[in-house]
């Protein structure tokens, strides 16, 4: 029995040596060819990590000879999120070996290059079709006879035939950026038709429906650049922005021609690289000019009025003392009701003593100089304010919005975004100070019409067209309140389908448009595009007040009321003096009668 076991061990050892010798005799050329191919792929596009799916195959031995990190996934799927370098080459021992189920890993490695080994007679077309269904297009295969054929079968998604045989003896690249020329493949898109982002018009030459605007132009130029056809769909839904985001999330659209703010962070995986960095502030009505009848009160400052009163009292004291060089006639009535000092400060004439002393003349000179200064100053203020009256006070904080009787009109979609991000400024606004619109286009229509019933919220990029439009107005209607911002830096991105294979090309195109200055050019011409398409009237929407060539009775109503009150006060004082004098005479007469009786 022991001898039998020894014989079996020897036979097994001999057979193992035979198999190993056979493999080394039959496969050295194949492994060398594969190693040369891997080196060539590293020269075409550098990679520093190998991700190898499947059990032991022809890729394992050459991978050990490369000076790169190798991750082995023999089970076909990993249970961890891919946090390695994006410079990764994916190797599969067969088309069935890569069955990655981790979503994060699939998303991060979607556009990486893949090299598949075909052990049996497998049609490369079926392999390309299998990977294209998972939207993985950078795929190439090698067969078992690769050491003899030296041919790599590369998948070409937009060409016919879809397989290109690349020989190692030639310099043609194995992997190419296929989406740089999509050969007319359609790109599904929907525009929100919110001017000036995207505006619909009919091409006069072709009669087709097209879009323009600083968001639509970005998508249009991208489609032209990659030689694709833009399939534009027009929605009749009033909640068009919400519908576009839902369609993108459900992968019914490739690109949404709209902008999504960073307030909705849950949609960051379906958003492009930030297209616009802007602020998000209130669009507040310009404070109205004060009526002319309040101008008189505006030019009277309490502090200046107090100084004038002290000056008046001081001059009255000096006049009383200088007339007789004594304090004998000094009283409260002579100080507060000094006729000469009062008329002198008002710039009116008053009696001048014939034999006035030098001190009295000096006081009169000071009085005249003070009257010239006061009358000139107030006349200048009055004429300036009548020419351009001052404005009412502006809103200084979010808490003061309710006191100005102007509510903020906001779409419900934007309010939900502010609530989800727990915006501190938005929490300072009372619910009663908000006018919530479930229909976003309706809210924007009110804002475009400069409806003075509300204040609005607007981004900095949209405000540029409003500011350009208001240059045509006689007077501006709204201003951009940079002190009342919900966010001074928000990101506006274009919604993209989650597994869009040419997302990187779209982001690259977007950044290049910024570098060339085209985005700034499109935004600066937004208002003129809206006028050209008839979306904005070229007229003054400021509703200026009718010009009156002269002052009206209402403009001097306060002065007349004060004058009437002063006259009534004077009459009452006169009647009081007459009454007091008559009462004193009656008391004196009664006292005399009493004395005469004795």
CA pair distance 519, 512, nearest whole angstrom: 10
423 contacts 398 by C-beta, under 8 angstroms? no
pLDDT above 90: residue 586: no
Short-list 442, 439, 440, 415, CA closest to 429: 415
Q: Tell whether the model's pLDDT for residue 268 goes beyond 60.
A: yes
Residue 17 clears pLDDT 50, i.e. is over it: no
Q: What is the mean pLDDT of residues 11-25?
A: 45
Give the model's confidence band at 20: pLDDT under 50 very low, under 70 low, under 90 confident, else very high: very low
Band (598; pLDDT cuts 50, 70, 90): low
pLDDT tens sequence across 197-236: 999 988 888 888 889 999 999 999 999 999 999 998 887 6
End-to-end CA distance of the chain: 175
**Residues forming a β-bridge with 304:** none
21 pLDDT higher than 70: no
pLDDT in tens, 491-519: 899 999 988 999 999 999 999 999 999 99
Query: Quick one: average pLDDT of 115-141?
Result: 88
Long-range Cβ pairs for the range 425-429 (8 Å, 24+): 425/398, 425/484, 425/485, 425/486, 426/398, 426/486, 428/397, 428/398, 428/399, 429/398, 429/399, 429/401
Whether 52 and 63 have beta carbons less than 8 Å apart is answered as: yes
Distance between CA 301 and CA 49 in Å, rounded?
77
pLDDT digits (tens, 9 = 90+) for 360-403: 888 888 888 888 888 888 888 888 887 878 888 788 888 878 77
What is the average pLDDT score of the chain?
A: 84
Instruction: Decide if 76 contacts 208 (C-beta within 8 A).
Output: no
Q: What was the pLDDT predicted at 42?
A: 92
Instruction: Provide the phi-psi class of 193: left if phi over 0, else alpha when psi is between -120 and 50, else beta.
Output: left
Closest CA to 485 of 424, 410, 413: 424
For 468-488, the pLDDT digits (tens) are 999 988 888 999 998 889 988
Longest dimension (CA), the chain: 176
Question: pLDDT-derived band of residue 350, with 50, 70 and 90 as boundaries?
Answer: confident
What is the rounded average pLDDT of the residues 141-161? Answer: 87
Question: If you write DSSP's letter for every residue of 51-73 in order, what string do you get?
Answer: EEESSS-TTHHHHHHSSSEEEEE
Q: How many CA atoms lie within 13 A of 461 on its CB side?
A: 23
User: In the prediction, which pLDDT does 26 show?
Assistant: 41
Stretch 335-347: mean pLDDT, rounded? 81
pLDDT digits (tens, 9 = 90+) for 514-566: 999 999 999 999 999 999 998 888 888 877 666 666 677 777 787 788 889 98
Residue 23 has what pLDDT?
40
pLDDT at 224: 94
pLDDT at 188: 94
The helix/strand/coil state of 257 is strand
In the predicted structure, residue 419 carries a pLDDT above the cut 50: yes
pLDDT at position 377: 86
Which residues have C-beta within 8 Å of that of residue 348, sequence separation ≥ 6? none
Cα 466 to Cα 166: distance, rounded to the nearest angstrom: 57
In DSSP terms, 490 is beta-bridged to 278
What structural domains does the chain harbor?
22-176 (3.40.50), 292-387 (no CATH)
Rg (CA), the chain: 44
Q: Point out the least confidently predicted range of 11-25, 163-177, 293-307.
A: 11-25
Report pLDDT for 113.
94
User: What is d(CA 285, CA 451) in angstroms, rounded to the nearest whole number?
Assistant: 10
Which is nearest to 509 in space by CA: 289, 277, 223, 227? 223
């Amino acid at each position: 029995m022991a001898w039998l076991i020894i014989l079996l061990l020897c036979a097994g050892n001999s057979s193992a040596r035979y198999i190993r010798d056979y493999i080394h005799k039959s496969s050295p050329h194949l492994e060398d060819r594969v190693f040369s191919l891997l080196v060539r792929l590293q020269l075409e596009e550098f990679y520093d990590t190998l991700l190898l799916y499947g059990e032991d195959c022809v890729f394992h031995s050459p991978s050990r000879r490369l000076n790169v990190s190798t991750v082995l996934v023999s089970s076909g799927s990993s249970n961890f999120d891919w946090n390695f370098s994006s410079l990764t080459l994916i190797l599969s021992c067969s088309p069935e070996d890569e069955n990655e189920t981790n979503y994060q890993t699939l998303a991060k490695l979607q556009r990486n290059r893949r090299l598949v080994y075909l052990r049996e007679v497998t049609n490369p077309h079926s392999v390309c079709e299998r990977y294209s269904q998972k939207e993985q297009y950078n795929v190439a295969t090698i067969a078992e006879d690769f050491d003899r054929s030296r041919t790599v079968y590369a998948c070409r998604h937009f060409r016919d035939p879809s397989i290109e045989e690349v020989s190692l003896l030639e310099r043609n690249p194995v992997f190419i950026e296929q989406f740089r020329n999509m050969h007319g493949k359609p790109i599904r898109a929907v525009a929100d038709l919110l001017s000036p982002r995207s505006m619909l018009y009919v091409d006069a030459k072709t009669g087709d429906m097209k879009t323009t605007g600083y968001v639509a132009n970005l998508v249009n130029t991208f489609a032209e650049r990659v030689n694709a056809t833009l399939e534009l769909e027009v929605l009749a839904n009033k909640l068009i922005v919400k519908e576009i985001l839902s369609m993108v999330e459900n992968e019914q659209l490739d690109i949404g021609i709209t902008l999504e703010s960073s307030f909705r962070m849950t949609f960051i995986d379906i958003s492009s690289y930030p297209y616009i960095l802007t602020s998000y502030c209130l669009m507040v009505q310009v404070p109205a000019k004060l009526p002319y009848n309040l101008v008189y009160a505006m030019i009277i400052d309490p502090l200046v009025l107090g100084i004038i009163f002290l000056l008046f009292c001081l001059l009255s004291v000096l006049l009383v003392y200088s007339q007789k060089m004594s304090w004998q006639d000094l009283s409260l009535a002579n100080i507060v009701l000094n006729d000469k000092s009062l008329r002198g400060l008002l710039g009116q004439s008053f009696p001048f003593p014939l034999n006035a002393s030098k001190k009295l003349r000096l006081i009169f000179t000071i009085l005249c100089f003070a009257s010239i200064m006061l009358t000139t100053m107030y006349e200048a203020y009055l004429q300036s304010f009548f020419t351009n009256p001052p404005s009412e006070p502006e809103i200084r904080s979010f808490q003061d919005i309710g006191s100005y009787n102007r509510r903020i009109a906001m779409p419900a979609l934007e309010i939900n975004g502010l609530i989800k991000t727990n915006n501190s400024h938005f929490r300072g606004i009372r619910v009663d100070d908000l006018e919530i619109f479930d229909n976003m286009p309706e809210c924007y229509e009110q804002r475009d019409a400069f409806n003075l019933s509300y204040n609005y919220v607007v981004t900095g990029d949209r405000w540029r067209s409003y500011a350009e439009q208001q240059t045509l107005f006689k007077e501006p209607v709204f201003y951009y309140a940079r002190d009342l911002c919900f966010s001074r830096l928000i990101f506006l991105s274009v919604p993209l389908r989650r597994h869009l294979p040419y997302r990187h090309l779209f982001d690259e195109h977007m950044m290049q448009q910024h570098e060339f200055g085209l985005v700034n050019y499109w935004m600066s011409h937004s208002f003129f595009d809206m006028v050209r398409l008839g979306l904005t009237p070229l007229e003054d929407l400021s509703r200026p007040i009718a010009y009156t060539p002269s002052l009206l009775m209402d403009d001097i109503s306060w002065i007349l009321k004060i004058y009437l009150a002063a006259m009534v006060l004077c009459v009452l004082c006169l009647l009081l003096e007459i009454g007091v004098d008559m009462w004193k005479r009656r008391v004196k007469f009664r006292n005399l009668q009493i004395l005469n009786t004795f």
